[in-house]
Chains A and B, each alone.
Chain A
Amino acid sequence: MASALINVPPRARRGDIIEIKTLMSHVMETGYRRTATGETIPRNIITNFVCRYNGVEIFRAELFPAIAANPFITFFTVATESGKFEFEWIGDQGFAETASATIAVE
């Protein structure tokens, strides 16, 4: 069961640079490990992450097996207007999760 943790400041002044922290619970199986019987465990990672601010893409990341389990990503943006941040994670084996957060800009 996937779950996301998002940290966005609830309010900011117009023009402030704010930090956004995101964490998605995910095993991030590399595809390089083997079971005791020698079979390769298939790769199962999050490959793409996108953040949109009022519908406009402000940050995008492509991830590889070298990203640790439960991918934690932080980045910055300029608070321009009140509204909604939408987050989207896409990965192997049909993984797709979304989350959102709101901000009030004065």
Chain B
Amino acid sequence: MHARSTRRQFLGLAGTAALGASSIVTIRPAEATPAMLAAAIRQVVGAATVQPGKVRLEVPPLVENGNTVPMTVSVVSPMTPEDHVKSIHVFNEKNPQPNIGHFHLGPASGRAQISTRIRLADSQKVVAIAAMSDGSFWSASVDVVVTLAACTEELI
């Protein structure tokens, strides 16, 4: 890649590389997180520790169009007044801002599961965190490869 290459060429190459790598890129555990993502998570969990587990985050590992990516988060919980999921928080690593959404549940939910469609501006990690009624936090993360990014800089 020489210095004068355009963004379009770079994205083309990146897309080719992503396609080539897609067969080996699957879901793998979290690695180092950029500061913005860590800060956004801190804002939700405070000083508490976030443990991996209990949360299931379903996002396709290879996404063709980052403008609309189906996402489902489910949490293992009996959803009783004594023991339930209070909220589910979803974050990303490389969009212009780290938040995706906050979803507030309660014992009336019956099942701790939500679905929506999200935007991903780049291949990146998506993190879901569940806040339980006992004050503990659980998380899951998925690495997603995006071949056509959601347009954040596109001219219209």
Contacts and interface: CB of A to CB of B under 8 A. Distances in A.
Interface residues of B, number: 33
B29 interface: no
B116 A72 contact: yes
Contacts, number: 101
A100 interface: no
Interface string B71-103: 000000000000000000000100111011111
A75 B118 contact: no
Interface of A: 17-18, 30, 32-36, 41, 53, 56, 58-69, 71-78, 80
A71 B156 contact: no
Contacts of B103: 59-61, 75
Contact of A67 (B96, B104, B117, B154): B117
Contacts of A66: 92, 95, 97, 99-101, 118-120
Interface of B: 67-69, 92, 95-97, 99-106, 108-111, 113-120, 151-156
Nearest to A28: B119
A5 B110 CA distance: 23
Dominant SS among interface residues on chain A: strand
A74 B153 contact: no
**4 shortest interchain CB distances as A-B pairs:** A17-B110, A78-B110, A68-B117, A76-B111
A36 B108 contact: no
Contacts of A72: 115-117
A62 B44 CA distance: 13
A83 to B, nearest CB: 13
A62 B96 contact: no
A24 B70 CA distance: 16
Contact of B155 (A32, A35, A60): A35
24 contacts: A17-B110, A32-B96, A32-B152, A32-B153, A33-B152, A33-B154, A34-B155, A53-B108, A59-B103, A61-B114, A64-B97, A64-B101, A65-B96, A65-B119, A66-B100, A67-B100, A67-B117, A68-B67, A68-B117, A69-B68, A71-B116, A71-B117, A73-B114, A74-B114
B100 A60 contact: no
A73 B151 contact: no
A59 B71 CA distance: 18
B106 to A, nearest CB: 7
B102 A74 contact: no
